[in-house]
Copies of this chain bind each other. A is one copy, B any other.
Amino acid sequence: MKKLLIASLLTIAMAGAAQAGSTADTAHPGNSSQTVLPAHSLGSFAGPDAWFTGEVKVDMLFNKTANLQASGASVTFQPGARTAWHLHPAGQTLIVTAGKGLTGYEGGKTVELNPGDVVQCPAGVRHWHGASPDSAMTHIAITGYDADGQNVEWFEKVSDAEYLGQGTSAKP
Residues of A within 8 A of B (CB): 23, 25, 27-28, 31-40, 59, 61-62, 65-68, 70, 72, 74, 90-91, 93, 95-97, 103, 105, 107-109, 111, 113-125, 127, 140, 142, 144
Contact = CB atoms under 8 A, between A and B. Distances in A.
Nearest to A112: B36
Nearest to A30: B122
A35 to B, nearest CB: 5
Given A91-B67, A97-B97, A116 B31 contact: no
Contact of A107 (B23, B25, B61, B124): B25
A72 B32 contact: no
Contacts of A90: 67
Contact of A108 (B34, B72, B96, B140): B34
A111 B67 contact: no
A111 B68 CA distance: 22
Contacts of A59: 116
A81 B62 CA distance: 26
Contacts of A27: 107
Nearest to A114: B39
Contact of A113 (B36, B109, B120): B36
A18 to B, nearest CB: 14
B118 A61 contact: yes
A37 B122 contact: no
Contact of A103 (B31, B36, B116): B36
10 contacts: A23-B111, A25-B108, A27-B107, A32-B125, A33-B105, A40-B116, A62-B93, A66-B123, A67-B123, A68-B91
